[in-house]
Every structure is written in C-alpha cells, then in structure tokens.
Chains A and B, each alone.
Chain A
Amino acid sequence: MKELNLLTKTQNTWCPGCYNFVILSAVEEALRELIRKKEIRKENIVAVTGIGCHGKIFDYLNVNGFYGLHGRVIPAAVGIKIGNPRLTVIGFGGDGDTFAEGIAHFLHACNTNPDITMVVHDNQVFALTTGQMTPTTEKEYKGPSSPEGKKTNPINPIALALASGASFVARTSVFQKDHLKDILIKAIKHRGFSFVDILQPCITFHNTSSYLKERIYDLEEKNHNPRDFKKAFNRALEWNYSLDEKSSIPIGIFWQEQRKTFEEDLCQNQKPWYLFKRNLNYKKLISLLR
C-alpha cells in the first residue's frame, strides 16, 4: 500500500532542534496509524490551530486546516464539529494561547464536552513573541516583560481540567515520543473533550529539559486507575508546574469517562449540514408573519 503523505513540502521555520518537530512527527504517526486501522478517514481530519510557534503545524500537516485566532482554537473547533459531526477535529494550541487568551473557552469545553481533541504545546513560555511569561510559567521567571521575576504561581492545567469536568485528561512529553503518540491516539479516539498537555521545553527561551527529564514518570507504572477521580486529582497535584526541586511529574491518562457529547446532545442532525435538504415552503413560512 502506498504510504499516506500527511506532511506538506513547506519549508519549516521552527528553530533548529525545536521539540515541535517531535510533536509534528508524533502527530503524523498517530494519524497515519488511525487512518490505517480505519478508525478515522484522512479527508475528515481538521487541524485547528491558534497563534504561536505551535500554530505553524497548520502549514506542515497535509490535512484540512483552520488557522484561527490566538486563544480561539476551541470555539472554532467546536463550531467545525457542529458544522459537520463526521469530522475528526483536533485543536493545537500553545500554553499562552489556551490558558491566557483562551482560558474561558477551555473551562467551558471541559464542562460541555464537545467531541474534539485539544493538544497543548506547553513550553511554559510565549516563544514566538520572544520569551514572556505565560500562566504556566514558574514563579520568579525572568523574561523581557518580567525582569524582576514573575510574581505569581503557575496555574495547573491538569487540575483545572479535572475540576472543570473534562472527560479525558492526559499529560505527555516530547521526551517519550512513543508515549506521546500513544496518548494522541487515545485522545483522538475518545468521544468527548480530550485534553492533552504536552510538556515541551523551548530550547531558546525556556529550556527546562534537564528538570523535566529527571522527574517524569509514567502513571501506568504506578498502576494508576484513570476511572478514579480522587486519585486522578491527587496525581494532578503532585506537580504544580513550578520548577520545584522535590516534585515528580506524572505523565499518562489521569482521568477518562464516557458521557454524552455537546453536539450529540444539541444536534438533531448528525450529518454535514451542507448535505441536509430542507424543503422550505415559502408560503407556509410567511404565514408565520401573519
């Protein structure tokens, strides 16, 4: 069988050595596997991206794409899913994108459970705007907008997603590509809102490689049960996204449950709207104006 080409020939402009290359490659492999196993169809994939380094993945993936606004990946993705429930909608966002500009959408999507996947390239810094702090940046971080150090603690997106009702909550990292690919496959297959936080150093502005590498462990090795909400929450609190020396950093699926999705609850019509024939009787319609 001919190898499916899921990459464009566009010149890549990420920094040499950027961990986004790992994410791109894992995404490509995950999609290829899902297509090969007939879990999804290539023509039904839509990649929705925000603005930031992560967003360039729009240009590199040879699938349908919506390159939207900074912070607005989730509502655009929700709209696409409503517009055609047959599509496989995968959102890519940065940590600034998702947790600063777009935090309201993130919380509501966790709550309403649209069947989309939200992948966050979490390098804990604004990279494309040259290194300012984001909500997940550690306290005391000195960047161009915080020369005296960041004054506040980072937010914990895993705990936030759990508290807000997300039905699939996972963390992975760019240091374990197979794990990353495996989580992506499970997230895409999950029916409902899947949140995947990918830990990723920014080699230019926020290089946390050695800190992360030394502390990451796999939840599966600890026999974590992703159906146990209390334990999921406790695991989520093991690391608060600071660069605390004592922390260890769990990766894997924290929590997964099946419940009705936003669009299946909303849409009486589960096919693409453009295929929907509505035989409107104009006379009957204007009789409503009498």
Chain B
Amino acid sequence: MVMKKNILIGGKAGQGVAMTSALLGKIFVRGGFYVFNYRDYPSLIRGGHNFNVLSVSDSPTFSFEKSYDIIVALDQNTIEKHRSNLRDGGFILGNKNLRSKNLVSLDLDKALSELDLPLIFGNNILVGYLAHYFGIPYSLVSEVIKKEFGSKSHLVEKSIKFAYQIDLHKSEKIYRKRRAKYFFSGNEAIALGALAGGLDVYFAYPMTPATPVLHYLARLQREYNILTVQLENEIAVINAALGASFAGAKTMVGTSGGGFALMAEACSLQGMSEVPLVVYLAQRTGPSTGVPTYNTQGDLKFALNIGHGEFPRIVVAPGDAKEAFIKTQEAFYLSQKYRVLTIILGDKHLGESHFSFDDIERPLLKPKDFILRKPNKNYKSYEFTVTGVSPRAVPGLGPVVRATGYEHREDGITTENENEIIKMTEKRNRKEKFIEKETNKLNPCKIYGKGENLIVSWGSTKGAILDSLNYLKSFRFLQILYLRPFPVEKVVKELSKAKKVVLVENNSTGLLGDVIREQTGFAIKKRILKYDGRPFSPSEIIKKLR
C-alpha cells in the first residue's frame, strides 16, 4: 500500500511559511521520500494567510489532497481555516499559545529563550519535531541544513537538535533509504534550463508568477557569467531582448499574461525580423489583473495567436518541473536554429510548486547558436533557402546585417513588390514544417497508463492526473507538450483508439478542446474543468470519472 501524508503548513505572510515548507520538503527528500510542495498565498506582503501543502510519499507524488494528516500552525487562524480538513487520527502541531482539539503543542517561547534564538527559529523546532516523528536520522537533517544555510547553519542546527530531544507524542518511523534525489520548483527549472540552454541575457519586468526566475538568475549571474536586466516596462524588455539577440546574445524574457499582452507587438516584430527569442509566459488567473497569485490555464490561445500577422512560432507547455528544465533547453535550441519565437507556457502551479525526481536525463539537443562566424561578403540576412531558415550573421563581422519589421527583400531592404511579398511570406511559413519534423522527435506528446479510455490535458494538470491514474485503471492519459507545431498525427492516433475521451483543464472554457477540434476535427464532449484559481486534486478527477 502506498504511504502518502499531506502536511499543511500555514501562517501569516512574513512568518516564513514558504521557507519552512521548503526546508521540510528538502529534509523529507533527503530522508528518502518523494515530495510535492504546493504553495498558496494571497497578493499581500505582511499578514493575511499563507499556506503550503507537502505531499510526502514512498512513491512518486505530483499533487496533494485537501485532507490533511498533519497541520503545522504558525498562527491560530491556520487552525480555524483548515481544522475541518484534518483527517481522523491527524494532529495539529504548533506553539503552546494555540487552542484546538488534537493539538500537539510545543513551548516554543521557552525553548527559544533557553536557546537564545529569535522568534523565527520556532519554525525550525517544528520542522525538527516532524523529521524526528517520521524517523529521519538527524545526520541527514544536518546535511540538508549545512547545504541550505551555509554560515548560519549552526544556529539552525541548534534549534533542530533541540527538537530531536523533545519527547514525541507518538511516532511513525517510516524512514526509508534514499529514493528521490532532486527537489525543485518549475521556476527554478526554467531558470536553470535557460542556463543549460545557453542563455546570455535575461530581460524582465517583475510580474507574479514569473518573478522568481528573475530573482534566481540575478543571484546566479556572476557565477555563471550571464546577465539579468530589469527595464522600465515589458515593452522595453522584449524590444531590448530582440536587440541583444540581433547583436548575437541568446536572450529570454519572462512575464505573465498582462506583461505578455504588452509584448504582443514585438512578438510580431520577431515574426517578421526572424531574430531568435525565447519567452517564458507564466499564466495566472485572469482576465486582467484577475487573481494575481492563483492559477488558471487561461492563456493557451493567447500564446498560440499572439502578434498580428501570420508567422511561425513554437509553443511548448511543460507539465512538471523536470519537463520545464528539459523543454527550456529545447526552446533555446529551436529558437536559435529556426530564428523563431519560442514560448514556454507555464503557470503559477508549475512555477511555484516543488517537485521531486529520481533523476534528470540529458536533453536530446546540445546548446548551439547557429551564428556564422565568417559570413561571406555577399551575405544576405534573409537569403531564400529550402527550409526557409536563412543563415544567421550578426553585426561586427564585416558584411551588413539587417533586421526589420517591414516586409523586405533578401538583403533586408524594404519592399512593397507583390512577388517579393509572396516569396518572403512563403520563406517564413516554410520553416514551420521543418520545425515540426524536429519537435516530433522531442516527445511532443506523452502517454501514461494503459486503460482503454483517454484523459487529454496539457501543462500543470499533469500532476493531479498522473496521481489519479493509480485509481483509474480504465484510463490512460495523453499529455500534449508541443501545442505548436501541433502533433496532429500522434494526437489523432490516440483519440481514435480511445473508447471514451475526457478533457481535463484548469480553465472555464476548455481551450485545449478548441485547439484539438481546430487541428484534428475531433470534438471532445466530456470535459472536467476547474476555474477557482486552485489546481486539481486527484480525488476531484477520480470522483468525476468513477
């Protein structure tokens, strides 16, 4: 039988909920468990109510249930809000001043004054208590703390060591030898995927939930010799990214829906100028400002259609943090090779949740910039070729290099001539067929499970669907990663084999359903849609399908 514990950690913003759950998550992973860490927070800086849910299991887990085995309460409000979701036999862990049934209270104030540590270290005592409760050897905890806290680790260790000496109210010694080795968020994966893909310069304007990528890369920039640049608005960001790419840097921008809307015109400039660019679009609940720190898969068609005029582009939607790492590397390779816009379509749930994995494979493609080092003197920026991809040179090498938003001849000079318009349009359009050949080799869609019925979805719903498959033996799951070029043949094959097809999406109108209908002619009638800003839990899907 699968062991799975859902642990909620809640408190006010500023009390260290996210830090505490991330630390506990890392300790569980080091202790041999698979962990999924969900983060839920309102749009405010101090006060309010934040919580994380750690799903801890002895087999892979990518989602959580709203039914908690343990609630770690950093304030009374956490108890009031979540007590009704405490499972029978579960307990609440917190400071002595809290009031509740099933409360295991620790006298944190007394402990901290004895230890001469500030208030925030109370969280570490709670972490230590739980690590001890689940039988994780202290040596492993110490290892994690040394790695995470560096020069401050002795203080953290002091508080956790203390916790290991507290008498446990009971215990569940389920510690096992190591399995999962990696534990990271989608946003960390995008940032490091960009690094691995050859990123030189990241341009951004802060916007939830893409901002952590900016923060993370800014922190790494000296060590990895990259650059992060924050400019005055998203329009400046994307135009500068195109400029830097024109000059030969591999560039990426990151934003959410509102910022991406401001970038629309420059996406179109990308289409005409064929200057390579990678965009990370982290969706959040819209329309407009919407619910800024919550999740909806509402921007699929926006990403597929952004920019006026017709031009090829790539849209790829990773479903978990490991896919985010791999697909971001592919995005860099494909953008540079085909001189196209690649949009990495993520969302808040993917970006800000932590996932655990046994291993990380190498990507199928190696980073490359495809820049001619010695262009000949007759070089033309938009030379006609069989694939539609003109060899790319950059300024400074000798021959004149041009990028333009006007329709143009091979040398980049403006044209309004009808034959030249046709030829250049066809050159650009031709690229898409060759991109598709390449993306078809990059697992544009994946199948999980063996049932005769089919669940179809994309992006961050993957976790809950995968976890629900364990209880839905008659279903298999088709995850579509490359949404443009759309893997028509593979999708049609799966749809036609299936006895019953169900669409699962974290939005209110079933956007992927529309895209599938447009691309394949299949209309999927049975749909499970969720649009309350929260991700699916497996039980919600299971209930609808059983």
Contacts and interface: CB of A to CB of B under 8 A. Distances in A.
Interface string B224-260: 1111010111011101111111111111000000000
A133 to B, nearest CB: 23
A40 to B, nearest CB: 12
A131 interface: no
B398 interface: yes
Contact of B201 (A74, A77, A82): A82
Contacts of A83: 200-201, 243-249, 251
Given A69-B269, A75-B235, A82-B244, A274 B195 contact: no
Contact of A274 (B182, B188, B369, B403): B369
Contacts of A290: 181-184
Contacts, number: 189
A27 to B, nearest CB: 15
A81 B395 CA distance: 11
Contacts of B399: 43
A68 B225 contact: no
Interface string A62-77: 1111111100101111
B229 A286 contact: no
B413 A108 contact: no
A274 B181 contact: no
Contact of A75 (B183, B198, B236, B400): B236
**Which interface class (under 10, 10 to 19, 20 to 34, 35 or more) fits A?**
35 or more
Given A69-B405, A105-B232, A273-B200, A285 B195 contact: yes
A80 B244 contact: yes
Interface in B351-409: 360, 362, 369, 371, 394-406
Contact of B203 (A46, A69, A79): A79
B269 A280 contact: no
Nearest to A74: B236
Contacts of A104: 232-233, 236
A1 interface: no
A29 interface: no
A228 to B, nearest CB: 29
Contacts of A86: 396
B457 to A, nearest CB: 25
Given A59-B414, A65-B403, A75 B225 contact: no
B249 A108 contact: no
Given A58-B404, A59-B413, A64-B401, A272 B248 contact: yes
Interface stretch (A92-100, A152-160, A187-195, A261-269): A261-269
B528 interface: no
B439 to A, nearest CB: 22
A45 B369 CA distance: 22
A77 B188 CA distance: 30
A58 B182 contact: no
Given A44-B395, A82-B249, A290-B182, A269 B227 contact: yes
Given A84-B396, A278-B225, A58 B247 contact: no
Contacts of A282: 196, 362
Contacts of A66: 243, 246, 273, 402-404
Contact of A84 (B198, B221, B247, B325): B247
Contacts of B245: 79, 83
A43 B239 contact: no
Interface of A: 8, 10, 43-46, 48, 51, 56, 58-59, 62-69, 72, 74-84, 86-87, 104-105, 108, 266-269, 272-274, 276, 278, 280, 282, 285-286, 288-290
24 contacts: A10-B414, A59-B413, A68-B239, A72-B235, A72-B236, A75-B239, A76-B239, A78-B236, A80-B244, A80-B246, A81-B247, A82-B249, A83-B200, A83-B246, A84-B396, A87-B395, A104-B236, A108-B232, A108-B236, A267-B227, A268-B225, A273-B201, A278-B198, A290-B182
